[in-house]
A and B are shown apart, each in its own frame.
Chain A
């Protein structure tokens, strides 16, 4: 079982729709959480960090549920430009110290006109 799991999609939604992605992680010692966005043939870029209290950035809302070990990303009023792959990222401490970053395989989103 992968340490970070995402539904690969693709999610096909019309413009203006609301879409939600979930991501589960298996290690309860995970400490920090992020959503990255990756456009086709480009590098990943940070979309937003995910905080325990939940956080919002414009049309994007991220939530963390430590008890159930999942994080979510909600996109409201989808735009064509939101079409991309969304990567769930989890940081935890290595057993020997330092941090380990684990990337999910990503969820593909296509927003249609």
Chain B
């Protein structure tokens, strides 16, 4: 099992550009999450999903959109990138909402 995978691993964008981060899990987990991690801030939840076809806002959703068309995939979109979105983005999944979360290796995004 690959667990949780993320693509791409690194990306540099210019302000105003758009991009989509892809997260895939092969553990048949219901819940999936997108976090961003900034120095000294810890992990902050952007959006999450409790099942295929559902999405919900987390703590810092502004400037991001998500979709969960298939159970195994969770996409994070940046519509118009801003320098404040420079961060490391982690995707995670869990079987239930109160279970251990399994994380992907992260995407390092720089917005110039």
Tell whether A and B belong to one assembly: yes
With an 8 Å Cβ cutoff, the count of chain A residues facing the other chain is 19
Smallest distance from the beta carbon of B52 to chain A beta carbons, Å?
Answer: 16
Interface locus among A60-68, A69-77, A99-107:
A99-107
Docked-complex contact A91 and B42, CB < 8 angstroms: no
Query: A43 contacts the other chain (Cβ, under 8 Å)?
Result: yes
Residues of A contacting B42 in the complex (Cβ-Cβ under 8 angstroms): 87, 103-106
Once bound together, how far apart are the Cα atoms of A5 and B96, in whole Å? Answer: 24
Other CB < 8 Å A-B pairs besides A34-B100, A105-B40, 14 of them?
A8-B40, A31-B98, A42-B105, A42-B106, A43-B90, A43-B104, A43-B106, A45-B103, A99-B96, A101-B45, A101-B101, A103-B35, A103-B43, A104-B42
Residues of A contacting B33 in the complex (Cβ-Cβ under 8 angstroms): 101
Residues of B contacting A104 in the complex (Cβ-Cβ under 8 angstroms): 42
Residues of B contacting A42 in the complex (Cβ-Cβ under 8 angstroms): 105-106
Query: B2 contacts the other chain (Cβ, under 8 Å)?
Result: no
Once bound together, how far apart are the Cα atoms of A31 and B96, in whole Å? Answer: 14
Query: B50 contacts the other chain (Cβ, under 8 Å)?
Result: yes
Q: List 9 A-B contacts (CB under 8 A).
A: A34-B100, A43-B90, A43-B103, A43-B105, A43-B106, A45-B103, A98-B50, A99-B98, A101-B45
B35-52 vs A, Cβ < 8 Å mask (1 yes, 0 no): 100001111010000100
Docked-complex contact B106 and A32, CB < 8 angstroms: no
Please name the 6 residue pairs, one residue from A and one from B, whose CB atoms are nearest each other, closest first. Answer: A99-B97, A105-B42, A43-B103, A103-B43, A46-B100, A91-B98
Once bound together, how far apart are the Cα atoms of A50 and B29, in whole Å? Answer: 22
Once bound together, how far apart are the Cα atoms of A87 and B33, in whole Å? Answer: 17
CB nearest neighbor in A for B106: A43
A27-40 vs B, Cβ < 8 Å mask (1 yes, 0 no): 00001101000000
B46-63 vs A, Cβ < 8 Å mask (1 yes, 0 no): 000010000000000000
Cβ < 8 Å to A, chain B residues 51-100: 90, 96-98, 100
CB nearest neighbor in B for A96: B56
